[in-house]
Amino acid sequence: MDAATTEIIARAVIRRDGNMLLAKHRTKKWSFLPGGHVEPGERVETALIREIAEELGTEAKIDGFVGVVEHGYIEDGTTHHELNLVFDVTITDPEPTSREDHLEFHWLPVTQLADTDVRPGAVKDALLAAGDDTAPFWHAWNG
């Protein structure tokens, strides 16, 4: 089994009218928060704004820090280790659409989050546990 490298991923919680914007690979059944990998030497906030511009073609503003979720999984015999840094974000585009062929975006009513396959599950669980509490959270890897 290969050793894990730690990936830093910046993720956006984009809420509007009781809904949350989620991304989905067109070939997968599950969804995830918009955002992506932080490149070596790149500031986390810069990475998140860049990823949203690349994925959605819209300007974004970081409104606050939501929390950190440490997550790990094994895929094809390789252990993956992630630090997901989650931020509240506002976007300027009222109807954002995917700028990347492999991604699609959809609005999910926040009330349906618990019943929706959002990955990593640890991020979804941390958001559900936080509820309306605006204090930043830390969710450790239970691997």
CA distance linking residue 36 with residue 121, whole number of Å: 16
Is a pLDDT exceeding 80 seen at residue 1? no
Q: Burial letters for 95-128: b for 16+ Cβ neighbours within 10 Å, e otherwise?
A: ebebeeeebebebbeeeeeeeeebebebbbebbe
> Any idea where the domains of the chain sit in the sequence?
2-139
Q: Give the DSSP H or E segment for 35.
A: strand 35-37
CATH code at 2-139: 3.90.79.10
Per-chain mean pLDDT for the chain = 91
Give 40-67 pLDDT, tens digit per residue. 999 999 999 999 999 999 999 999 999 9
